[in-house]
Amino acid sequence: MVEYSDDAKLSRLLKAVSDSTRRALLTQLCQQGASRVTDLANHYDISLNAISKHIKVLEGAGLVTRQMHGRTHWIEADLRQVELMSAWLESLKSIWALSLDKLDDVLNEGEKK
């Protein structure tokens, strides 16, 4: 189970990936590598300011990092935090597996009678 200290991190991660534009940005960064903010914005029919806000949410969740070279901002995916989401999802899967095992036991018991 996810510890309480990780709850805020998990919430930020889930919020960050809850938006389709942010998921698309993250996918794009994973596929293409580090990109300039302006290059990322060219792929979307929204303002540069809106893209910047989406990137800030991803940054806040630790899913991307920003490097500045002069006035140019380079954004790169950083998927180390994804392990926290993965661990939470695995815990959900194990809960379901236990529930299904119990249901199977109940059904098998009913067949024996």
Q: Which domain holds residue 103?
A: 4-112
pLDDT tens, 32-46? 999 999 999 999 999
State the pTM of this model: 0.74
CATH number at residue 15: 1.10.10.10
Amino acid making up residue 102:
K
Residue 47: phi and psi, rounded to 5, are -70, 160
Ramachandran category for residue 62: left, alpha or beta (phi over 0 → left; psi -120 to 50 → alpha): left
The Cα 81–Cα 24 span in angstroms is: 17
Cα torsion 70, 32, 40, 50: sign: negative
Q: What is the mean pLDDT of residues 42-66?
A: 95
Number of domains the chain contains: 1
